[in-house]
Amino acid sequence: MVFVKRKAHFNAAHRLHNPEKSEEWNKRVYGKCNHPNWHGHNYIIEVVVAGEPDPDTGYVIDLSKLYDIIEEQIIEKCDHKNLNLDVDFLDGILPSTENLVKAFYFQLKEPIEKACVEGGKLYAVKLHETERNAAEYCPYLLK
C-alpha cells in the first residue's frame, strides 16, 4: 500500500466553551482558550490517502484533485473564519483540535474516495493547531 500526503494551511479563530458547564468550569478547563472574544491559530492540515497505484497513471490519487478537494471542503470554508460561528459542517461541534480533525476527516472522505483509484481511501487527517500541538484521526488504526 502507498500513502500519499498533502499539506495545506489556514488561519481561523475559535473559542473552547462548553455551554453545558458553568463559566467557572470553562475557565478552569480551557484557560486562555476560553477567552470570550475568541483566539486564533495558524492551522496546518495533513491529509493522507492510501491505496495501490493505478498501473496506467501510477497514481493513488491525482495530487491536483486532492489539492482541489482540500481547498473546496476545508480551506475555503474555514480560512479566516470563526470556527464556532461561520462553518456550517462544524455547527454544534466544540472546536477542539481533536473534534476538528474528526469533522475534517468526514468532510473530506467522500469526495477524496470518489477521486481515488479503485480501492483507494482517505486514510488519516492530522491537524496542527500550533508547532507543538496536533491531533490525528485514523479510524483504520482502531480496527
Using alpha carbons only, give the angle 116, 60, 99 rounded to the nearest 5 degrees: 65
pLDDT of residue 51 exceeding 80, the answer is: yes
Question: What range defines the domain where residue 61 resides?
Answer: 2-142
pLDDT band at 141 (very low <50, low <70, confident <90, very high): confident
pLDDT digits (tens, 9 = 90+) for 103-120: 999 999 999 999 999 999
Closest to 34 measured CA to CA, from 54, 19, 52: 19
Q: For the segment 125-138, what is each residue's pLDDT rounded down to a tens digit?
A: 999 999 999 999 99
Q: How many domains does the chain have?
A: 1
pLDDT digits over 4-22, tens only?
999 999 999 999 999 999 9
Active-site annotation holder among 33, 41, 116, 128: 33
CATH number, residue 107: 3.30.479.10
Residue 76 pLDDT exceeds 90 = yes
Catalytic residue among 9, 52, 80, 110: 80
Kindly tell me the number of DSSP H helices and DSSP E strands found in the chain.
Answer: 4, 5
Catalytic annotation present for 129: yes
CA–CA dist 111, 121 (Å, integer): 10
Give the residue ranges of DSSP H helices in 10-143.
Answer: 23-30, 63-70, 76-78, 97-115
Catalytic residue list contains 80? yes
State how far the Cα of 124 lies from the Cα of 108, in Å rounded to an integer: 10
φ/ψ bin of 13: left (φ > 0), alpha (ψ from -120 to 50), beta (otherwise): beta
What is the pLDDT confidence band of residue 142, given thresholds at 50, 70 and 90? Answer: low
pLDDT score recorded for residue 128? 98
φ/ψ region of 91 (left if φ > 0, alpha if ψ in -120 to 50, else beta) reads beta
Question: Is 128 noted as a catalytic residue in this protein?
Answer: no
Give the pairing type, strands 121-128 and 134-137: antiparallel
What number is the average pLDDT over the span 30-35? 96
Q: Per-residue pLDDT averaged across 69-74, rounded?
A: 98
Q: Which of 14, 17, 116, 129 is catalytic?
A: 129
